[in-house]
Amino acid sequence: MENVKHIAVLGSTGSIGTQTLDVVRAHTDKVVAEVLTANRNADLLIQQAIEFKPNAVVIADESQYQKVKDALANTDTKVFAGSKAIEQVVQFGTVDTVVTAMVGYAGLSSTIKAIEAGKNIALSNKETLVVAGELINQLVEKHKVSVTPVDSEHSAIFQCLMGEGEIEKLILTASGGPFRTKTLDELRNVTPAQALKHPNWSMGAKVTIDSASMMNKGLEVIEAHWLFGVPYDKIEVSVHPQSIIHSMVQFVDGSVKAQMGLPDMRLPIQFALSYPDRWPSDFKRMDFATQQPLTFEAPDLNKFKCLALAYRALGKGGNETAIMNAANEVAVAAFLQEKISFLGIADTIEKTMDNVAFIAKPTYADLVATDTEARAFAQSLIK
């Protein structure tokens, strides 16, 4: 089969990973799942391997290795375990595109290995650019690979910029999450169960909590800065509760382009895999006759302090965004375990940013050390 993409899906059992495989299932003549990796969901990884017959699978949780190995013993699929194995399989000669659908800082090292091996990246793991944007961009240029965004907002901007000239600003839309209309007082007592009920999107727990705190939008502002080379003061956030306009670009003549679609992550995933083409799909279409009105409002940075902290970190530069990201991952995990309050997430991040050593020009080793130090400090704040 000519012009078929051979992909590795990192995090194939998560929300983005399973939807990526929906796209593969619909376009078996255009894309092949060559490698699948999972953190600890062995049962789903086994099911996926039996259906898609990949060259290799990796289960990061080594205690699950034998279970996966035994289940796939009668297949041709190779089975590996551990995070180092993920770094190795992305370098396979049979892989040309790596879909980075792992959540959090854990996705950084394997993305770097993939770029160094000359693989194109369909980027869903926003923390890769949040932590190490400058380093990633240098590697992308050096190894002459492409990075195509999977996030719906960055995919929208990418599509709006196609064939265009000088821009004035980027406008990232945000749903506002489940707590958009709550007061600061009401936010003091919200529970993880309430925070996990996103009004528009179906996502993993960590991303859903980030959406509720608007840290997700902060991470996306940082990601947009590195993806599109736009200074942080020219990246605006607009709260758009209907999630129909996925983002906009304003140009120097005052014209604004928006990319629209129903909230379905399979759309930007498919575009990242099909670009520069568009593949047909049977995804649900918009009906403008029945579409509810589209509304926009400014985000409340007092209520959603995480977004303000992301702007602060990006403005400072260096390892500040790595500090922020590490503290956020620790704080979100603590909130989900009911060890801190919802507002405690931002407090934990801010205190960590105030106390962990700043490095203006960090190396990769510095960023790894920063992540470790920031996690330890954030953990020390959690009683």
Question: Residues 9-26: what's their mean pLDDT?
Answer: 97
Rounded Cα–Cα distance for residues 322 and 133 (Å): 10
Residues 150-198 pLDDT 10s: 999 999 999 999 999 899 999 999 999 999 999 999 999 999 999 998 7
Q: Point out the least confidently predicted range of 147-161, 199-213, 290-304, 339-353.
A: 199-213
Instruction: Say if residues 169 and 195 touch (Cβ distance below 8 Å).
Output: no
Rounded Cα–Cα distance for residues 367 and 372 (Å): 9
- Residue 245: phi, psi to the nearest 5? -85, 120
Query: What are the C-alpha distances in Å from 66 to residues 46, 331, 364?
Result: 12, 33, 33
Question: Residues 358-367: what's their mean pLDDT?
Answer: 97
Residue 383 — pLDDT band, cuts 50, 70, 90? Answer: confident
Rounded Cα–Cα distance for residues 317 and 313 (Å): 6
Percent residues over pLDDT 70 in the chain: 99
Rounded Cα–Cα distance for residues 120 and 372 (Å): 29
Neighbours of 289 (CB within 10 A): 5
Residues 255-290 pLDDT 10s: 999 999 999 999 999 999 999 999 999 999 999 999
